[in-house]
Amino acid sequence: MSGTYLGMPAFPEAAATATANGRLRANLTHATHTIRDKRAAAVGELTDWAALRAAGAAVKDRTLRHLDHYLTQAEEAVTAAGGTVHWAADAREANRIVTRLVRETGEREVVKVKSMATQEIGLNAALAGAGVRAYETDLAELIVQLGDDLPSHILVPAIHRNRQEIREIFTERMADWGRPAPVGLSDRPGELAEAARLHLREKFLRAKVGISGANFLVAETGTLVVVESEGNGRMCVTLPETLISVVGIEKVVPTWRDLEVYLQLLPRSSTAERMNPYTSTWTGTTDSDGPRAFHLVLLDNGRTDALADTVGRQALRCIRCSACLNVCPVYERAGGHAYGSAYPGPIGAILTPQLRGTTSEVDASLPYASSLCGACYEVCPVAIDIPEVLVHLRERVVQGGPATVRGQRTRLKPAKGHAAERAAMRAARWALDRPGVLRAGQRVAARTRRLHPGRLPGPGRAWTDTREVPAVPAESFRDWWRRTGGREDR
């Protein structure tokens, strides 16, 4: 894929472009509303959902508070089962490791299971740079790859495309990547799925190297779990001779038993199914069944920075279900590309600024890509309080303060764009501490109220771009109270 998130505009500009695109908005509204009701029904079937959710959050909290312990335990178990474990501090190192491992097989192509981690690190571009072609095999990832596009949703990366657009992409682009689309392809979803089956079949059958992520990594057994629907995941983890899995360090769960919580929470939250069609688990290598070599690449890439923030840490509980995207009014209107990273929607708005820091314009704008309505928190199967983290990150952007960046403790400077806001808040604090000053100020404001402009001048202008300046009453509450003692009839 040649698309890149680098150099993306800040959220407000990107969102303004996206919301003006009528087709995009219609596609997103249709898709997110379809899944919302289904999710609610699937969750409603389980009377103990709240208890599962509490357990899901607690297991992740236990893991995160003792992450070093569980990672070394997982490493030992994977190694004992015949796998090889690699550690990558950042994206570049992970890409270097995977590229080297592919090169060592002598192969020039790999088949890939949809993986957020490899999207995050830009693995496909790195492999292409080394002369290795990576074939995305998830249907939506295939649509994105063929369309030279970027993913816009965690679960359904091509959610911004409707069936007519998908038909066009398949018809025009499949031939460039292998078997062309069938002649006379219609836009029926069943026919489109069939076209993907035919196109990818030959790639699966000849593949020697598979690359995956993982939904879970069980520390006590060294077992990896991949949850999917189409069977492309099974193809990639079963048929090749070499399997390389790139897994974020927060994907570890302590015990085999813990899967009983997540295998109930994830499918219902994600695709609104009682269970997704296929779940594959494997532990190292197995004699004469599946790959002969298995490599696990454990990825940090900013996760330890998020871990160091005691409020932001909860974002690492995320199991990538995407329920928060599907209920978010901002996501529904702005679409996933506006978030400028592999992780769109509410979870992206708290995860990306923690993984990448808040120094770039787009990352500093992400904590504001929310109305704080709280729908995301309500549906989150691991109870991540997304609004709490958003507010916390806004504070970090505006005020600066201590943070960990690439493993180093540092003190962030306040963001430049917020000087006027900070000055206003300082002035407000000073006035609110001094009742006489406040009273005098309010009286001046009341007497001059007919002269107030509809839009603020100077640094306040941006604030009134999207808001009305509140009307100042003729009499302040304090003066009214003093005059009437609170009696309505006076």
Partner 1 sequence: MSSRDLVLGRIRRALADVPLTEEPADVHVPRDYLSTHAPADATEMLAEHLADYRALVHRTDAAGLPGLVADLLAARGAQTVVVPPGLPPEWLAAADAARVADAAETTARELDAVDSVVTGCALAIAETGTIVLDGSPDQGRRRITLVPDHHICVVRVPEQVVDSVPQALPRLAPARPLTWISGPSATSDIELSRVEGVHGPRTLEVVLLRG
User: Binding of partner 1 at residue 168 (CB under 8 A)?
Assistant: no
Nearer of residues 290 and 414 to partner 1, judged by Cβ: 290
In terms of Cα–Cα distance, which of 376, 413, 411 is closest to 397? 413
Contact pick of 72, 359, 371, 484 for partner 1 (by CB under 8 A)? 72
Structure tokens, 263: 């295998």
- Crossing angle (nearest 10°) for helices 386-399 and 345-356: 40
Structure tokens, 344: 């769109």
User: Binding of partner 1 at residue 385 (CB under 8 A)?
Assistant: no
* Number of other CB atoms surrounding residue 82 within 10 Å: 15
Q: Which amino acid is at 126?
A: A
Residues 426-465 that bind partner 1 (CB under 8 A): none
Contact pick of 14, 24, 174, 261 for partner 1 (by CB under 8 A)? 261
Nearer of residues 237 and 334 to partner 1, judged by Cβ: 237
Min CB(183)–partner 1 separation in Å: 20
Among 201-209, 335-343, 434-442, 476-484, the segment contacting partner 1 (CB under 8 A):
201-209
Contact pick of 17, 84, 171, 238 for partner 1 (by CB under 8 A)? 238
Nearer of residues 75 and 418 to partner 1, judged by Cβ: 75
- What's phi and psi for 135, nearest 5 deg? -100, 120
C-alpha–C-alpha distance, residues 358 and 400, integer Å? 10
User: Binding of partner 1 at residue 95 (CB under 8 A)?
Assistant: no
C-alpha–C-alpha distance, residues 407 and 410, integer Å? 9
Nearer of residues 163 and 443 to partner 1, judged by Cβ: 163
- What's phi and psi for 437, nearest 5 deg? -65, -45
Positions of E strands within 392-446: 401-405, 408-412
- CB contact burial 275-303 (16+ within 10 A = b; e otherwise): ebeebbbbbbbeeeebbebbbbbbbbbbb
Contact pick of 8, 10, 18, 67 for partner 1 (by CB under 8 A)? 67
Min CB(355)–partner 1 separation in Å: 13
C-alpha–C-alpha distance, residues 241 and 237, integer Å? 9
C-alpha–C-alpha distance, residues 422 and 414, integer Å? 9
- CB contact burial 119-128 (16+ within 10 A = b; e otherwise): bbbbbbebbe
Min CB(288)–partner 1 separation in Å: 4
The interface mask with partner 1, positions 27-66, x = CB under 8 A, is x--xxx-xx----------xxx--xx-xx--xx-xx--xx
Contact pick of 18, 117, 196, 334 for partner 1 (by CB under 8 A)? 196
In terms of Cα–Cα distance, which of 69, 224, 65, 227 is closest to 138? 227
Min CB(458)–partner 1 separation in Å: 41
User: Binding of partner 1 at residue 276 (CB under 8 A)?
Assistant: yes
Contact pick of 190, 457, 485, 486 for partner 1 (by CB under 8 A)? 190
User: Binding of partner 1 at residue 389 (CB under 8 A)?
Assistant: no
Min CB(286)–partner 1 separation in Å: 5
C-alpha–C-alpha distance, residues 151 and 142, integer Å? 10
User: Binding of partner 1 at residue 405 (CB under 8 A)?
Assistant: no
Q: Which amino acid is at 116?
A: M
User: Binding of partner 1 at residue 193 (CB under 8 A)?
Assistant: yes
Contact pick of 95, 212, 215, 221 for partner 1 (by CB under 8 A)? 221
Among 88-96, 359-367, 415-423, 459-467, the segment contacting partner 1 (CB under 8 A):
88-96
Nearer of residues 281 and 464 to partner 1, judged by Cβ: 281
CB proximity list for 433: less than 8 A, separation 6 or greater: none
Min CB(275)–partner 1 separation in Å: 4
Contact pick of 22, 409, 470, 489 for partner 1 (by CB under 8 A)? 409
Contact pick of 257, 434, 447, 452 for partner 1 (by CB under 8 A)? 257
